[in-house]
């Protein structure tokens, strides 16, 4: 999206910048607006290393080389998309639930010392999504590329003990696809890009029960970005999502059940009545209806009466893959006095040269 498409009111008013750094994509824009200005890969191409490096991969490799790449990545956001003076606008970072303190400190150092921002907020993506709901209670599921995480919120208060996650998400589905592609195409030594695997998953793989016999699903072909013609077998199309939707440990079905069991029984049915799905995986065709169908069956088999209360909340505000960003946009447009306890100023950062533990909300709860 070009700067010409940004409303004049947005360019002229001193709004804050909202940045959602996901494992696959980064969304960036201004507070008080309904959609991000840009959605770009959370990665940069390193000419020195001659490869694409994802931001999440620098978590355990905090060296000057990676720090420089991260700084260049943020520079691109300001120069190519935002077109504003960095020292005039505060920044809200909608953070991945598992963002390390190392990466958080690196971002704070870059924003305060390089871009001279006046203030910085870190907002967990699960909780930022809650601002989009307009409800007091819900079970929020963030179906991201690398993991699915969930937390229950009752009367605007997060039930921290209910926080649960699984690494069984898009990336694990892609691994299954890659394994089967190599089997049926004899491609042991051929690399298939993550973007190609994403296309195969979203265009050809079907959400269905493992016992369903649908003869209309046939083998098809896909032309990769490298020019290889790949055969997409019926096994790939029918079974790619089974591990995500069955009742085994680590599936989204057992994850939701675990969260519900951690909610006090007196208002468990209220939470079950407001399941809220967000994240890129929700865009997979029929994802939410199939999950609800299997969850209801799972609860009935386990003798739970919660199956009668199950319902999901479908908000008309924006697309599920940037609800976390939109929540950050709403939250950071609220009166500044609501943020005085969580906003980090440049003066505070320069005195300690690190992000205080109060921003590391997840680790502080479980340590």
| CATH assignment at residue 101 | 3.30.420.40
Q: Are residues 37 and 1 in contact, defined by beta-carbon separation less than 8 angstroms? A: yes
144 φ/ψ angles, rounded to the nearest 5 degrees:
-90, 180
The answer on pLDDT for 105 being more than 50 is yes
Highest mean pLDDT of the ranges 127-141, 265-279, 302-316: 265-279
The answer on pLDDT for 224 being more than 60 is yes
pLDDT (0 to 100) of residue 12? 44
pLDDT (0 to 100) of residue 142? 92
For residue 284, what are the domain limits? 135-168+245-308
Considering only residues 20 and 45, tell me which one the structure prediction assigns the higher pLDDT: 20
162 and 290 share one domain? yes
Domain final residue, candidates 243, 275, 293: 243
**Given the DSSP bridges, would you call strands 138-143 and 275-278 parallel, antiparallel or unpaired?**
parallel
pTM: 0.85
163 and 292 share one domain? yes
Long-range CB contacts (within 8 A, 24+) of 168-172: 168/243, 168/244, 168/250, 168/251, 168/252, 169/143, 169/144, 169/145, 169/244, 169/281, 170/24, 170/144, 170/145, 170/146, 170/198, 170/201, 170/280, 170/281, 171/145, 171/146, 172/243, 172/244
112 and 36 share one domain? yes
Confidence of residue 292 (pLDDT cuts 50, 70, 90): very high
* Any domain includes 289: yes
160 and 293 share one domain? yes
Please state the rounded mean pLDDT for residues 297-305.
91
pLDDT (0 to 100) of residue 75? 95
Q: Which of 32-46, 51-65, 81-95, 283-297 has the lowest mean pLDDT?
A: 51-65
The answer on pLDDT for 8 being more than 60 is no
75 and 100 share one domain? yes
Domain final residue, candidates 190, 225, 243: 243
* Any domain includes 356: yes
66 and 152 share one domain? no
pLDDT (0 to 100) of residue 11? 45
Domain final residue, candidates 308, 331, 349: 308
Q: How many domains does the chain have?
A: 3
Q: Are residues 25 and 329 in contact, defined by beta-carbon separation less than 8 angstroms? A: no
* Any domain includes 142: yes
* Any domain includes 9: no
277 and 339 share one domain? no
pLDDT (0 to 100) of residue 280? 87
Confidence of residue 68 (pLDDT cuts 50, 70, 90): confident
* Any domain includes 324: yes
pLDDT (0 to 100) of residue 5? 44
What would the DSSP string read from start to end of 64-116? HHHHHHHHHHHHHIIIIII-S-GGGS-EEEEE-TT--HHHHHHHHHIIIIIS-
Region of residue 2 (left: phi > 0; alpha: psi -120 to 50; beta: else): beta
Please state the rounded mean pLDDT for residues 229-235.
90
pLDDT (0 to 100) of residue 160? 87
90 and 29 share one domain? yes
* Any domain includes 338: yes
161 and 257 share one domain? yes
pLDDT (0 to 100) of residue 127? 81
pLDDT (0 to 100) of residue 62? 52
29 and 119 share one domain? yes
261 and 153 share one domain? yes
Please state the rounded mean pLDDT for residues 82-91.
94
pLDDT (0 to 100) of residue 2? 39
The answer on pLDDT for 293 being more than 60 is yes
The answer on pLDDT for 298 being more than 90 is yes
- Alpha-carbon gap, residue 140 to 89, rounded angstroms: 30
pLDDT (0 to 100) of residue 212? 62
C-alpha angle 151-155-159 in degrees, rounded to nearest 5: 30
What percent of the chain stands above pLDDT 90?
43
pLDDT (0 to 100) of residue 321? 84
* Any domain includes 3: no
Confidence of residue 107 (pLDDT cuts 50, 70, 90): very high
The answer on pLDDT for 238 being more than 70 is yes
What percent of the chain stands above pLDDT 70?
86
Confidence of residue 52 (pLDDT cuts 50, 70, 90): confident
The answer on pLDDT for 325 being more than 90 is yes
pLDDT digits (tens, 9 = 90+) for 151-206: 999 998 889 899 999 988 999 999 999 999 988 887 766 678 888 999 999 999 98
Please state the rounded mean pLDDT for residues 124-135.
83
* Any domain includes 315: no
154 and 184 share one domain? no
Confidence of residue 363 (pLDDT cuts 50, 70, 90): low
């Amino acid at each position: 999206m070009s700067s010409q498409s940004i409303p004049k009111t947005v360019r002229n008013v001193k709004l804050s910048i909202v940045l959602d750094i996901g494992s696959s994509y980064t969304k960036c824009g201004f507070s008080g607006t309904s959609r991000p200005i840009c959605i770009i890969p959370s990665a940069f191409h390193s000419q020195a290393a001659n490869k694409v490096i994802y931001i999440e991969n620098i978590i355990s490799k905090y060296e000057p080389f990676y720090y420089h790449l991260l700084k260049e990545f943020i520079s691109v956001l300001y120069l190519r998309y935002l077109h504003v003076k960095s020292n005039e606008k505060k920044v809200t970072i909608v953070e991945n639930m598992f963002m390390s303190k190392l990466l958080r400190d690196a971002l704070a150092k870059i924003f305060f010392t390089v871009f001279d921002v006046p203030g910085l907020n870190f907002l967990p993506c699960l909780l930022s999504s809650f601002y989009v709901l307009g409800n007091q209670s819900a079970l929020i599921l963030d179906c991201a590329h690398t993991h699915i995480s969930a937390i229950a919120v009752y009367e605007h208060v997060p039930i921290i003990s209910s926080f649960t996650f699984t690494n069984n998400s898009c990336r694990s589905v892609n691994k299954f696809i890659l394994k089967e592609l190599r089997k049926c195409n004899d491609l042991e030594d051929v690399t298939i890009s993550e973007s190609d695997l994403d296309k195969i998953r979203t265009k050809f793989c079907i959400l269905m029960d493992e016992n369903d016999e649908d003869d209309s699903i046939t083998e098809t072909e896909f032309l990769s970005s490298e020019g290889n013609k790949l055969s997409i077998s019926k096994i790939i199309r029918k079974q790619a999502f089974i591990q995500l939707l069955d009742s085994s440990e680590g599936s989204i079905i057992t994850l939701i059940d675990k969260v519900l069991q951690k909610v006090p029984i007196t208002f468990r049915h209220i939470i079950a009545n407001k399941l809220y799905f967000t994240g890129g995986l929700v865009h997979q065709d029929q994802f939410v209806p199939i999950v609800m169908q299997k969850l209801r069956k799972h609860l009935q088999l386990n003798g739970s009466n919660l199956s009668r209360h199950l319902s999901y909340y479908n908000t008309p505000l924006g697309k599920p893959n940037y609800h976390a960003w939109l929540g950050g946009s709403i939250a950071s447009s609220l009166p500044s006095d609501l943020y005085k306890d969580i906003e980090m100023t440049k003066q505070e950062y320069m005195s300690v040269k690190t992000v205080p533990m109060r921003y590391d909300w997840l680790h502080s709860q479980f340590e």
